[in-house]
């Protein structure tokens, strides 16, 4: 029997965002099919290992299970944030200063980061071609909407995954910071009330409103 070599990705940088989107689309399409497990296993080889589906049917079962296990492990790996990557001869860099993000960029990022179907559009906001480089520092092109959206389907999945983790951590830190800030403000106000000789409906009403705002904030942040 002729031996067949399979090029299996061993790290996320060897998988493209587009490949992952394609596989997730297949999973979504077949989510209600109880018999889809074996089909999706072979599709995983087709999508991530570039093997025609009809050819995967002739592979040994144990080999398919082994490859699927390797790919699943790669997909579950958490990697460090990717600042730069190349697509062909073009080097792309993560937006250097998030504080400098325009309102338009933020809207496009917020609207497209909600689904893997549009994640390439979100990545086109965060990553753009580097125009100038100074060691670890660099400048990127001005944002022009979906100009690089389709190209981002070829970006390494490691960059997309690490960007999502980056924003998750950023959001968690922000939430904790906001909660601690309002907690401190609440304690200040309560202390001021205890030290004050004055009492009245105005202060009582303000305190009630502050507590309601804090509770509302906690609900929205969780």
Do 59 and 23 lie in a common domain?
yes
Do 149 and 98 lie in a common domain?
yes
Domain count, the chain: 3
Do 132 and 186 lie in a common domain?
no
Where is the domain boundary, 155, 181, 205? 155
Q: Is residue 24 part of a domain?
A: yes
The pair of three-digit structure tokens given for residue 182, joined into one six-digit string: 């309002």
Per-residue pLDDT band for 192 (boundaries 50, 70, 90) equals: low
pTM (two decimals): 0.74
Where is the domain boundary, 40, 75, 110? 75
Do 54 and 96 lie in a common domain?
no
Measured from the Cβ of residue 14, the count of other Cβ atoms closer than 10 Å reads 15
> Does pLDDT of 73 surpass 80?
yes
> Does pLDDT of 171 surpass 60?
no
Q: Tell me which residue of 9, 17, 15 sits closest to 127, measured CA to CA.
A: 17
Q: Is residue 40 part of a domain?
A: yes
Tell me what pLDDT residue 191 has.
56
Tens-place pLDDT, residues 81-113: 899 999 999 999 999 988 788 888 888 888 888
Do 91 and 150 lie in a common domain?
yes
Do 65 and 16 lie in a common domain?
yes
Where residue 8 falls (left for φ over 0; alpha for ψ -120 to 50; beta otherwise) is beta
Do 106 and 134 lie in a common domain?
yes
Tell me what pLDDT residue 173 has.
44
Tell me what pLDDT residue 175 has.
47
Contact 210, 186 (CB under 8 A): yes
Question: CA–CA separation, 11 vs 74, rounded Å?
Answer: 6
Residue 176: give the domain boundaries. 164-221
Percent pLDDT > 90 in the chain is 44
Do 141 and 196 lie in a common domain?
no
Tens-place pLDDT, residues 6-53: 889 999 999 999 999 999 999 989 888 877 888 999 999 999 999 999
Q: Is residue 2 part of a domain?
A: no
Q: Is residue 7 part of a domain?
A: no
Q: Is residue 3 part of a domain?
A: no
Comparing 219 with 197, the larger pLDDT belongs to 197
List, edge to edge, every strand of the sheet that includes 127-134: 84-87, 90-94, 127-134, 137-140
Do 147 and 106 lie in a common domain?
yes
Q: Tell me which residue of 113, 136, 132 sits closest to 17, measured CA to CA.
A: 113
Do 68 and 108 lie in a common domain?
no
Q: Is residue 25 part of a domain?
A: yes
Contact 128, 92 (CB under 8 A): yes
């Amino acid at each position: 029997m002729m031996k067949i070599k399979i090029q299996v990705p061993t790290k996320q940088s060897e998988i493209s965002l587009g490949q992952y989107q394609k596989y997730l689309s297949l999973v979504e399409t077949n989510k209600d099919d109880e018999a889809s497990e074996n089909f999706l296993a072979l599709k995983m080889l087709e999508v991530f290992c570039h093997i025609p589906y009809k050819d995967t049917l002739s592979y040994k079962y144990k080999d398919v299970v082994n490859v699927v296990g390797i790919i699943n492990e790669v997909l579950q790996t958490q990697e460090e944030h990717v600042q730069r990557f190349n697509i062909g001869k073009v080097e792309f860099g993560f937006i250097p200063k998030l504080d400098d993000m325009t309102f338009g960029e933020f809207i496009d990022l917020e609207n497209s980061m909600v689904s893997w179907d549009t994640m390439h559009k979100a990545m086109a906001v965060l990553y753009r071609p580097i125009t100038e480089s100074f060691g670890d520092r660099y400048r990127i092109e001005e944002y022009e909407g979906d100009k690089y959206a389709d190209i981002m389907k070829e970006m390494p999945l490691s960059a997309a995954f690490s960007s999502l983790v980056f924003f998750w951590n950023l959001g968690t830190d922000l939430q904790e910071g906001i909660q601690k800030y309002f907690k401190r403000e609440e304690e200040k106000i309560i202390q001021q009330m205890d030290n004050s000789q004055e009492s009245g409906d105005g202060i009582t009403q303000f305190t009630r409103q502050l507590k309601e705002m804090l509770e509302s904030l906690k609900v929205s942040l969780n």
